[in-house]
Structures are given as structure tokens and as C-alpha cells.
Amino acid sequence: MDDRDFELMIVFRSTTEAMAWEKAAKGLDLPGRLIPLPPQIKADCGLAWSATLGDKEVIFKAAGEYDLKYGQILEWRRGAWNGK
């Protein structure tokens, strides 16, 4: 397995936090998109920001620089949900 088998998953504590992230990410042209959160992750608002592992650095940098709030950042194996 290599990086292409994983995706970056930014998990939010609330729907409002997810919306604030999405708006900032669009404004900053950050890579990724909102997706439904894999059901295995329980502490959630049902939404996550998904990007490639290669985008990790640029996303971390922007989150720090612009004080973007989120719950946690996970590296998630593609296809690890839906029972695959």
C-alpha cells in the first residue's frame, strides 16, 4: 500500500464547524470536498472534509494560519468503509 491507498479525513465536532471549514476552504482554494463521514467514526457531525494525503501539508498549514477549527485529522484507508 502507498499514499494513494489513503485519504485525509478532517472530522468536525459540529455541523457549524464543518460549514465554517467548507467556506474557508473554498475561499483559500484548498483541495478536497465535504463527504459523509464513514460510520465507523462515531464522534462526529456526519460530515468530513476529504482530501488526498499529498495535500496534508497545505491543509495543515492553512488550518494553523487561518485558525480553522476541526475535531481531528485522520488518515483513512480508501475503501475502508462500506465493508470493503
Partner 1 sequence: MIYFDQAATSFPKAPGVPEAVCQALQTMGNSGRGAHHLALEANRLVFRAREHLAQFFKANDPARIAFTANATESLNLALEGLLKPGQHVLTTELEHNSVLRPLYRLKAQGVEVSVVPSDQKGIPDFAQLEQLLRPNTKAVVCTAASNVTGNVTDLDYLGDFCSRRGLAFILDAAQTAGSFPLDVKRQKIDILCFSGHKGLLGPQGVGGIYLREGLELRPLKVGGSGMQSYSTRHPSEMPEALEAGTLNTPGIAGLLAGLKYLNRVGLEQIRSQEQELTRLFYLGAKDLPGVKIYGDFSTFRRCPIVALSLSGLDSAYVSQVLAQDFQIQTRAGSHCAPLMHRALGTEKEGLVRFSFSHFNTKEEIKIGLRALQQIVTRKERN
- Residue 60, interface with partner 1 (CB under 8 A)? no
- Residue 15, interface with partner 1 (CB under 8 A)? yes
Residue from 19, 28, 62, 74 binding partner 1 (CB under 8 A): 19
Least distance (Å) between residue 1 CB and partner 1: 27
Half-sphere exposure of 39 (CA within 13 A, CB side): 3
Residue from 16, 60, 72, 79 binding partner 1 (CB under 8 A): 16
DSSP single-letter state for residue 35: E
Instruction: Mention every residue, 6+ apart, whose C-beta is less than 8 A from residue 65.
Output: none
- Residue 10, interface with partner 1 (CB under 8 A)? no
4, exposed or middle or buried, with CB in 10 Å at 0-12, 13-18, 19+?
exposed
**Segment contacting partner 1 by CB under 8 A, of 2-10, 40-48, 52-60, 72-80:** 40-48
